[in-house]
Amino acid sequence: MRNTSDIETFLDLCHRVYEKDLVRGAGGNVSVRSGDRILISPTGRCLGVVDEDDVVQLGLDGTVIGAGRPSKEWRMHLSCYGREDVRAVVHVHSAYAVGVACLRQLDHDCSMPVYSPGYSVRVGKLPAVAYMRPGSSELAQAVATLIARRNSVLLANHGVVAVGASADQAFDIAEEIEENARLHFLLDGRGRPLDEQQQAALAGRY
């Protein structure tokens, strides 16, 4: 049985991700946990027009409940829900973040400088995983390893994964990463990021 409140939260998340230009066309995918099920966006459908009939439900074992075909990234989404506190997962292909993910000298430990206090606290040193085929179990496992101890990860040549204890939190993290990436390109090497001491002093302040 569908939880109406969770479906409304899911649809709102889909539409916000699209309206904020975090995805284009049929790119990206989102999910929300609803009891013992996952509500996930369908494959090949623009998030901006996803409606209630498009919602795909998955069991925690990956079984499709009812009709529909889930995003090919369903394995990656399910792997993130291995953390009990995760209630939503946002995977986007936002332009500036993908730009960072495509840099030749991508630092996989800290993919871009930390420019602001908010970003430092909510995201911090954003790690990146090496390119792996979208939808693969290898990518899902690599993401799960990092998400086990943090709320976001950059996928080389691909995009961003952000998780949260709520849909709002996951969305905010994805948007914050995109804004920091935008600053990174605007500054073009002229920026003065926060140093290690400044970042450490911010811990627990927000």
For the record, the structure tokens of 112 come out as 């871009």
The whole-angstrom separation of Cα 119 and Cα 202 is 10
Report how far residue 44's alpha carbon sits from residue 202's, in angstroms, rounded to the nearest whole number.
41
What is d(CA 84, CA 45) in angstroms, rounded to the nearest whole number? 28
**How do strand 128-129 and strand 152-155 relate by DSSP bridges?**
parallel
What residues act catalytically? 73
Q: Give dist(CA 106, CA 121) in Å, integer.
A: 22
